Amino acid sequence: MLFLCHRIPFPPNKGDKIRSYHLLRYLSAHYRVYLGAFVDDPQDWVYADKLEELCEEVHLVKLNPKFARIKSLSAFCKGQALSLPYYSSREMSCWVKKLQGKNDIQRVVVYSAVMAQYVAGAEYSAGTKIADMVDVDSEKWREYSQQKTFPMSWVYHREAKCLLKFESHVAESFNHSLFVSTAEADKFKELAPDVASRVGSYSNGVDTKYFCPQQDFPSPYNENESALVFTGAMDYWPNIDAVNGFARDVFPTVIRNNPQARFYIVGSNPATQVCKLADLPGIVVTGRVDDVRPYLAYAVAAVAPMRIARGIQNKVLEAMAMARPVIVSEAGIEGINAIHGQDVLVARQAGDYGRYVEGVLAHNYEGLGSSARRRVIQGFSWENNLPLVGQLLEKKSA
């Protein structure tokens, strides 16, 4: 089996890598896996050995984000989505062709639609091909276009249109295309109705033994702090937007009424906009941490005030698994069958965040965390969700 991934699927420390890692583990238990992936973070090269333990062969290709952005500009001349040349690589292409020449690859899984460009040839037409698109990326770019001013609004609008065309082509040429939730799958069916019969979904999971509150973590917080925590990759624009909105529009009122309150922004590669938030009263930007679990375990609540979000937010699932009260936007709870007021607190209006934070600090939602963990245990198990991929890989073409 050939498994192509737009980012090295280890370590499982951020949303897309969590899903790709567990998918790889499942596939490697049932097939001889040949893995091709890009490495865009120099710190990730040390994990090559971990992947070789799971795979028959691993081929990692360096991706320099700055160079890739320059290379993506060629898409304007070709009428392509910018994402395609961003992830195009002669080295990756040569490895895939060489691999097919040496081995009779009968099954292909690509993680992210952009990786489908490497298996578009006739030599892959006879086998079973599955695209794990995860989210409707084209829709994400459309949402970006509505948040930006010209010229970036035009660039993002163009990317949404071109990428949807490519995603539809992938869904048409692959046997099955899968998304992270039924909501994402339904959205893609709405946008590309001609391929609806080939579209499905399987949900993410959570390792609830790893994300378990009954562990002896040292507290990362100062004594007497009441910490609200946001976790995520802090160079990702929807996360940047979320923490900026919360820090500037919500938290000033919270700390004025509760001087012991602190807002911790926990995640790797904080953008300049995020780093500047540390200058505001009561806000701490940690950067990359070895383990997010202590930050969740000792927080009074996790917040996920996402204004733009696609698919399932792992940060929400992990906080729920750690039995923390979670205050989340409607966009952030998509794909998670949680009940407002019982499992989570869903902020439908801007003013709801402050009200729910005040309620949590006043201990008004004592049973919320326990109910949240039960919800995750019941509905988000990799062991229950991943077998669908295996069934589709073995399904005979009509």
Which domains does the chain carry? 2-205+381-394 (3.40.50.2000), 226-379 (3.40.50.2000)
Which residue, 203, 116, 205, is CA-closest to 165? 116
Residue 168 pLDDT > 90:
yes
**Percent with pLDDT over 90 in the chain:** 92
| pLDDT at residue 396, rounded to an integer | 67
- Give yes or no for residue 14 having a pLDDT over 90: no
Provide the pLDDT for residue 121. 79
- Give the position of tokens 């992830």: 87
Q: Specify the pLDDT at position 397.
A: 54
Residue range 21-32: average pLDDT? 97
Q: Closest by alpha carbon to 229, among 137, 316, 133? A: 316
DSSP code of residue 217: P
> pLDDT averaged over the chain?
95
**pTM check: above 0.75:** yes
At 365-388, the pLDDT tens digits run 999 999 999 999 999 999 999 999
Q: Across-strand partners of 199? A: 177
Q: What is the token pair recorded at 287?
A: 């950067």
Instruction: Please tell me the distance from the alpha carbon of residue 274 to that of residue 280, in angstroms, as a whole number.
Output: 11
- In the predicted model, what is the mean pLDDT of residues 175-200? 97
What is the mean pLDDT of the segment spanning 334-356? 95
Average pLDDT over residues 271-281: 98
Distance CA 379, CA 120 (A): 35
User: CB 350: neighbour CB atoms within 10 A?
Assistant: 14
What per-residue string of b and e applies to 149-164 under the rule 16 or more CB within 10 Å gives b?
A: eeeeeebbbbbbebbb
* Helices 15-28, 314-321: crossing angle, 10 deg rounding: 80
Specify the amino acid at residue 77.
C
Virtual CA dihedral for 337, 348, 313, 281, nearest 10 degrees?
A: -140
- Statement: residue 234 has pLDDT above 50: yes
Query: Once rounded to an integer, what is the mean pLDDT over residues 5-31?
Result: 95
Report the alpha-carbon distance of residue 286 to residue 268 in Å, rounded.
Answer: 8
Each residue's pLDDT tens digit, 57-102: 999 999 999 999 999 999 999 999 999 999 999 999 999 999 988 8
- Cα 77 from Cα 85, distance rounded (Å): 11
**pLDDT, tens digit, for every residue of 283-292?**
999 999 999 9
pLDDT at 398 over 50: no
Mean pLDDT of 160-169: 98
CA 289 to chain centre: 18
pLDDT score recorded for residue 123:
77
**Residue carrying structure tokens 């949303």:** 15
Mean pLDDT of the region 127-133: 95
